Structure 1
Amino acid sequence: MFGRPTSLFPPERTLPGRDSAPYELPARHRVLGTPLLADPADGTAPAGFEVAYFGLGCFWGAEEVYWRQPGVYTTSVGYQGGETPWPSYEEVCSGLTNHTEAVRIVFDPAVVSYADLVKTFFEVHDPTQGMRQGNDVGTQYRSAIYYTTPEQAAVAEELRKVYGEELARRDLDPITTEIAPAPTYYPAEPYHQQYLDRVPNGYRCHATTGIAFPSEG
């Protein structure tokens, strides 16, 4: 997990990938028991639920943070933001796909707002580190918010501004988080899904700034 490329490759030089998944994913979330890839668009998640995508370093610990958050219906981990279709973990680690490790979240906005999910995002990793998180170095660890609606985009931009102002007040580095429309999401291999439930003492990396959002009260 250490010492990866820190610059994106030209798209024409990325790996060719595959036409379909080379593995079969579990049907259900190991912890929550809900459909792993539930989607309100096709009726596999309740109507009114939303989908969110975040890249915040190693996806093992990032997924655990979110599956523990009340109002989250299901989570999975995968690869997003690159050119290579259906990449393998080893290919992503090579830096030759341009993907970042991402967490896909389906949530009930009546219980947890998208703003709350974004606040968690900024508070549990260091969004100023560029192509790394702590000792994890490489393009696959870059910070990203991939939105699925214009409303999500507006919330993400506003909270990036608020959090960035707090960083500036403390003379810390500026935010490097990419905010963009959600690109194609490729679920990672089965052994990555809910990894820290399988391996409770497994690797976690969250190099935070130590700053929480200013109180709204």
Structure 2
Amino acid sequence: MFPFTRKPVEMVHPSAALPGRATSIPTAEAHFLSGRPLKSPVPDGMAEAVFGMGCFWGVERMFWKLDGVWLTMVGYAAGFTPNPTYQEVCTGHTGHNEVVRVIYDPSIISYDALLRTFWEGHDPTQGMAQGNDRGTQYRSGIYCASDADRTKAEASRETFAPRLKAAGYGAITTEIMAAPAFYFAEDYHQQYLAKNPGGYCGIGGTGVTCPVGVGA
């Protein structure tokens, strides 16, 4: 989130992770733009997806702008510390990634179309970094709600990789796994760039087009 900040770029061992806490940390009650409750159950007919692409401020804005996306929220996932705080995540000693949870209507926007936004919206070859942001919390990740979604995510990676290579980029470092526990980030992080339009965010795409989800 803050440029040129030096943070660990290797995953902490689970035995060395911070202990965390048994209760969740406070967060916003409702989405700043839509007013929809952030912790409401996924409505019937809707689906969910979770992505890590670097600074979650800009990633969330990228997804809330899409037609068919019903709700977005930011948080922490794929680490070891239960109910971490932002300050703890920033130490690199929780193992968590900054992620965006997306609730969407698959009758309007497909999971493949979300994957296209994911691949085109950041550089998935940077390892434990994105832009000027360095640290394990900025890694590229797709956290899948179902086996079918995981199959699509892996297929999209194989489709996009040759295009990146042809454009001079290295190997994709994106982790793809079943969706782990999602922990809400603090109130001020939710829809941050709607509240602070001039806020910093270091994510940026490669300019390489991903053919997955076109027209979906």
SS of alignment partner, residue 186 of structure 1: strand
Q: How do 1:140-151 and structure 2 match up within 5 A?
A: 140-151=137-148
Corresponding position of 1:17: 20
| Structure 2 residue 163 is matched with structure 1 residue 166 | yes
| Structure 2 residue 86 is matched with structure 1 residue 92 | no
Corresponding position of 1:195: 192
| CA distance in 1 between partners of 2:105 and 2:155 (Å) | 21
Q: CA deviation at 1:204?
A: 1.8
The counterpart of 1:153, out of the listed 150, 153, 170, is 150
Deviations 1:68-101 (A, max 9, x none): 1110010000000000001110110000000000
The counterpart of 1:4, out of the listed 7, 10, 13, is 7
Corresponding position of 2:36: 34
| CA distance in 2 between partners of 1:192 and 1:129 (Å) | 24
Corresponding position of 2:204: 207
TM value normalised by structure 2: 0.94
Q: CA deviation at 1:109?
A: 0.2
Runs of 4+ with deviation above 6 angstroms: none
| CA distance in 2 between partners of 1:38 and 1:72 (Å) | 15
Q: Which protein, 1 or 2, shows the higher relative CO under an 8 Å CA cutoff with sep ≥ 6? A: 2
TM value normalised by structure 1: 0.94
Amino acid at match of 2:117: T
| Gaps in structure 1 of 5+ consecutive residues | none
| CA distance in 2 between partners of 1:203 and 1:148 (Å) | 30
| CA distance in 2 between partners of 1:126 and 1:52 (Å) | 19
Q: CA deviation at 1:212?
A: 1.3
Corresponding position of 2:182: 185
| CA distance in 1 between partners of 2:40 and 2:150 (Å) | 22
Corresponding position of 1:127: 124
Contact 1:80/1:101 (8 A) holds in 2: yes
The counterpart of 1:78, out of the listed 71, 75, 100, is 75
Q: CA deviation at 1:209?
A: 1.4
| Gaps in structure 2 of 5+ consecutive residues | none
Q: How do 1:108-127 and structure 2 match up within 5 A?
A: 108-127=105-124
Q: CA deviation at 1:34?
A: 1.7
Say how many residue pairs are matched.
211
- Percent identity, aligned pairs only? 45
SS of alignment partner, residue 108 of structure 2: coil
Q: CA deviation at 1:60?
A: 0.3
